[in-house]
Amino acid sequence: MPSNHIFTVNAQTFNVHLNYMFAGTGKDGSAHQAGALADILGVRPGDNLVFYVEKYGFYGFFQAKSSDGRLVFYEPSEDQYLDQELGGKTLTYRVFIEPSRLGVFRYGVPEWDATENPINILEQKVFHMQWSWIFKKLKGGRGCTSIPKEEFELLKGIIDQGNERLPESERYGFNNGEVVPIRESFEYKGDTSRSPFLHSDAKTIITEDDLRIFFSANAGLNHILDVVLRPEDCGRIVYIANETKCSFGLRSIDLLFVTEKNKCLLIELKNKYEYNEKLLNQIITYSRWISSYKNYLHEIVPILILREPRLYPSNARGYLFKYLSKDDCKARKVSTWYRDIVSKIDELRVALNNANIDKLSALQAYEFHTDDNNTLLSFSRLGNGR
Domain 4-181 top-level CATH class: alpha beta
User: Which position has the higher pLDDT, 368 or 141?
Assistant: 368
pLDDT tens digits for range 18-46: 999 999 999 988 888 999 999 999 999 99
Q: Where in the chain is the domain with CATH 3.10.590.10?
A: 4-181
Sorting pLDDT into bands at 50, 70 and 90, what band is 249?
low
d(CA 122, CA 235): 28
Predicted confidence band of residue 359 (pLDDT cuts 50, 70, 90): very high
Contact between residue 81 and residue 20 where contact means Cβ atoms under 8 Å apart: no
Q: What are 275-318's pLDDT values in tens digits?
A: 989 899 989 988 998 898 888 899 999 999 999 999 999 877 78
What integer pLDDT is reported at residue 247 of this predicted model?
Answer: 62
250 pLDDT above the threshold of 60: no
Q: What is the pTM of this model?
A: 0.92
The pLDDT value recorded for residue 140 is 65
Q: Decide: 59 and 23 in contact? Cβ < 8 Å.
A: no
Pairs from 181-185 (Cβ < 8 Å, separation ≥ 24): 182/19, 184/19
Q: Output the 3-class SS for 9-33.
A: ECHHHHHHHHHHCEEEECCCCCCCC
| C-alpha span between 383 and 273 (Å, rounded) | 13
CATH T-level assignment (fold) for domain 208-381:
Trna Endonuclease; Chain: A, domain 1 (3.40.1350)
158-179 average pLDDT score: 95
Residues 6 or more apart whose CB falls under 8 angstroms from that of 195 comprise: 73, 74, 202
Q: What integer is the mean pLDDT of 7-26? A: 97
- pLDDT value at residue 139: 67
pLDDT for the residue 386: 35
Enumerate the CATH 3.40.1350 domain ranges in the chain, comma separated. Answer: 208-381
**Chain segment 201-217, per-residue pLDDT in tens:** 789 999 999 999 999 99
Q: Which pLDDT belongs to residue 333?
A: 94
